[in-house]
Amino acid sequence: MNVYVGNLPYTTSSDDLRVAFEAFGEVTSANVISDRDSGRSKGFGFVEMSDDAQAKEAIEKLNGTEMDGRTITVNEARPREDRPRGGGRRGGGGYGGGRGRY
């Protein structure tokens, strides 16, 4: 099961995340997401656990707890939505419509 962890302190490393979740079972992977340009943590990450029951227990026990002075959010990760890459425009604005322009 893939678990989302939000509101992490910016000093939290992937290893710190792994250690916090290993108390509940086997951690397959732990990743704190970093900004591509600066390398600084974005304040959230993902933990993958091999056993769903252990992952659910970790969610229950860790959600709302404090980590280095910040209250973290822990829940089941939703599947990533496909988002267009690049600087493409997303509808709205621009020309057209013409309502009331005669």
Question: Can you give the CATH number for the domain in which 19 is found?
Answer: 3.30.70.330
Over residues 8-61, the pLDDT tens digits come to 999 999 999 999 999 999 999 999 999 999 999 999 999 999 999 999 999 999
Task: Kindly state whether residue 51 falls inside one of the protein's structural domains.
Answer: yes
Domain residues for the domain of 30 are 2-76
What is the total count of domains within the chain? 1
Report the alpha-carbon distance of residue 18 to residue 29 in Å, rounded: 7
Task: Kindly state whether residue 70 falls inside one of the protein's structural domains.
Answer: yes
Task: Kindly state whether residue 48 falls inside one of the protein's structural domains.
Answer: yes
Task: Kindly state whether residue 49 falls inside one of the protein's structural domains.
Answer: yes
Task: Kindly state whether residue 88 falls inside one of the protein's structural domains.
Answer: no
- Asked if residues 79 and 49 have their Cβ atoms less than 8 Å apart, the reply is no
Element (H, E) at 31: strand 27-34
Q: Is 13 helix (H, G, I), strand (E, B) or coil?
A: coil
Q: What is the pTM of this model?
A: 0.77
Question: Quick check: 83 pLDDT over 70?
Answer: no
pLDDT for the residue 37: 94
Question: Quick check: 88 pLDDT over 60?
Answer: no
Q: Hey, what amino acid is at 39?
A: G
Task: Kindly state whether residue 85 falls inside one of the protein's structural domains.
Answer: no
